Chain A
Amino acid sequence: MTSSLTQPPDDREAFTLRRRPASEKLVDTGFRNLTIAMASLVAVILLGIILTIVMGAREAMATFGLGFLTTSAWDPVNESYGALVAIYGTLVTALLSLLIAVPLGVGTAIFITEDLIPLAFREAIGLMVELLAAIPSVVLGLWAIFVMEPTIRPVLELLHRLLGWLPLFSTNPQGPGTAPAVLILVVMILPIITAISRDALRQVPIELRQGAYGIGTTRWGAIFNIILPAAISAIIGGVMLALGRAMGETMAVTMIIGNSLNFSFSLLAPGNTIASMLANQFGEADGIQVSALMYAAVILMILTFVVNIMAQWVVRKLSLRY
């Protein structure tokens, strides 16, 4: 049979079989190896980020140890550093903004997936929420400084007057502070929660809805008892992604949080987050301050890594199989 391939019979139209030239093979394997190299670059960058920051933080880790996490002194003159203010600020701003953004985002997602209003309106709302995600953080920060903060200050003053006995509202609002930072974070993570919840709700099989309506439930009976439980794992995954984003968000928060180095429980007082501390001080720092900032960056990275990996795990493991 092999001979008939290389020497076709004369009475039939000849197929010309050609050997692949060496150059073609070279291009093929070369291209394959190039794409492998480019794909590995993701791993190289990720490892590079971890190595660079951990190596930079080694000096501060050796000097301050774990006490770095629990002391609030940030004193470049005496070279004594602790990140408690920034860690507390990062967690408080991220969690409080989630507390506000989750009901808003999931509520909006339900509103634009159920047929409460005509499709054109729902698509318009979806488009607007997507565009909100596209506005740069620094522009939101600018808006927060000049428009949002002056507008909400009377409300914050009222909070202080009525609830000033609570440690959370114990200081008089002076302008920049934790509370406006929380509100601008809400604006920034709302689109993520809405977009992921909307996708999750859309993927709930139509049979589940039909079944629920068929046995006579109301719309919100179906939403609370059938649709939300079916979509909950993806929604939780989206909420955790938003948490990671909120903890790492830098510019808008830096511009409005006040960047205070003193610890305060009050939401109305200026605060700080790890990301905004990095943005403010990294350019001008030297000596062990750079190392202390790298240490803070390590903490931020661990926090966001844990949250992001948990988000992926939640989506993969907890999703319902229909």
Chain B
Amino acid sequence: MTSPPLTSAGFERRSLYLDRSLRRNRFNLVFTIIAAVFASIAVAPLFLVIIYVLYEGFQTLSPELFTQLPPPPGLEGGGIGNAIIGTIIVTLIAALIAIPVGVGGGVYLSEYSTGGWFAQFVRFGNDVLAGVPSIISGVFVYGIVVATRIFFEQSYSAMAGGIALAILMLPTVIKTTDEGLKLVPQEMRWGAIGVGASKFVTTTQVVLPAAFTPIATGVVLAIARAAGETAPLIFTALFSPFWPDGIFNPIATMSVLIFNFAIMPYEAQNELAWGASFILVIMILAANLLARWLSNLSKV
């Protein structure tokens, strides 16, 4: 290329073709490569964790894993049947508390509040509650439920664990309900009121069903998160090497089992921890894909 002649206006005449040797184009390329490397590093842990959990967990899969109790330290074999049932029970308790309360709170924020100080305070409090570390929720439930022995003189119980998890689920459910209801067209409310429905009927028969998919998405995600939580359970639901015995006794959960068995120096226990991780990860990934499918459903 010959050196470009100057025009009268003092501008250089340059080729419009991309010249890769220019400093700014080299700079551009370098940063594109850096971003690509960063993105690969960000994705790598997922693959490494999932592949390893699937690989280790798959080896422990057997019918006994689902049907037997964990062995005493030092012995071989056994399963995590009690922990699987326990996780289901505790998560169910949490969902039964958090879903009605969360949907009710969301309905208030979206349908009844007029943006006054109370609604602003609830929205702000909800955001703050969402940021409260999960272990703090465990300490709180320990203080009000476990230490006071409020339920039939029982201290550690599945119920206490369920309440601790419900506190963690609540902000997500309120937020998704609030935002899901806001997406419902105002005309549907007017239409329902116009044909003579009361506010209660409008909300429960027209508005809530219309917002079903966004609310269900939020609820599924909240349940998936709660099922994997450990910190609020270690001193509320505690652990139990036996089959669940009612909801007012200590109960085994998969997440606490992983924590307890991971730091034990026994091979059999470590293997059961991998088995529990396998089941937990599969359940949670399935719930996340279900939530994703639900939210795509509402877009169509």
Interface residues of A (CB under 8 A from B): 20, 24, 27-28, 31-32, 34-43, 45-46, 48-49, 52-53, 56, 103-105, 107-108, 110-112, 114, 116, 125, 127-132, 134-143, 145-147, 187, 190, 194, 218-221, 223, 241, 244-245, 247-251, 254-255, 275, 278-279, 282-283, 293-294, 297, 300-301, 304-305, 307-309, 311-312
Contact = CB atoms under 8 A, between A and B. Distances in A.
B162 interface: no
Secondary structure call for the A interface? helix
Given A34-B104, A42-B105, A218-B24, A141 B262 contact: yes
A142 B274 contact: yes
A77 to B, nearest CB: 22
Contacts of A134: 224-225, 228, 284-285, 288
B227 to A, nearest CB: 8
Contacts of A52: 139-140, 143-144
B149 interface: no
A42 B262 contact: no
- List the 7 closest A-B pairs by CB distance, nearest first: A248-B133, A136-B228, A107-B38, A38-B104, A35-B108, A308-B131, A250-B231
A39 B170 contact: no
B131 A131 contact: no
Nearest to A103: B38
Contacts of A130: 288
A139 B258 contact: yes
B55 to A, nearest CB: 10
Interface stretch (B61-69, B72-80, B120-128, B182-190): B120-128
A194 B167 CA distance: 26
Contacts of A20: 198
Contact of B28 (A136, A219, A254): A219
B152 interface: no
A72 to B, nearest CB: 21
Given A52-B140, A103-B38, A130-B288, 10 more contacts: A39-B174, A43-B122, A46-B128, A105-B42, A134-B288, A135-B228, A136-B229, A248-B131, A249-B133, A312-B127
A36 B49 CA distance: 43
B230 A251 contact: yes
A272 B252 CA distance: 26
A309 B128 contact: yes
A179 B42 CA distance: 18
Contacts of B132: 46, 49, 248, 301, 304
Max count, chain A CB within 10 A of own CB: residue among B129, B136, B227, B228:
B136
B43 A41 contact: no
Interface stretch (B4-12, B29-37, B210-218, B241-249): B29-37
Contacts of A304: 131-133, 136
B262 A107 contact: no
Contacts of A249: 133
A52 B45 CA distance: 38
5 contacts: A53-B136, A108-B35, A218-B28, A301-B136, A312-B127
Interface in B181-225: 198-200, 203-204, 224-225
B240 interface: no
B39 A107 contact: yes
A157 B57 CA distance: 30
Contacts of A35: 104-105, 107-108, 111-112
Nearest to A278: B135
B82 interface: no
B48 interface: yes
B263 interface: yes
Interface in B40-64: 41-43, 45-50, 52-53
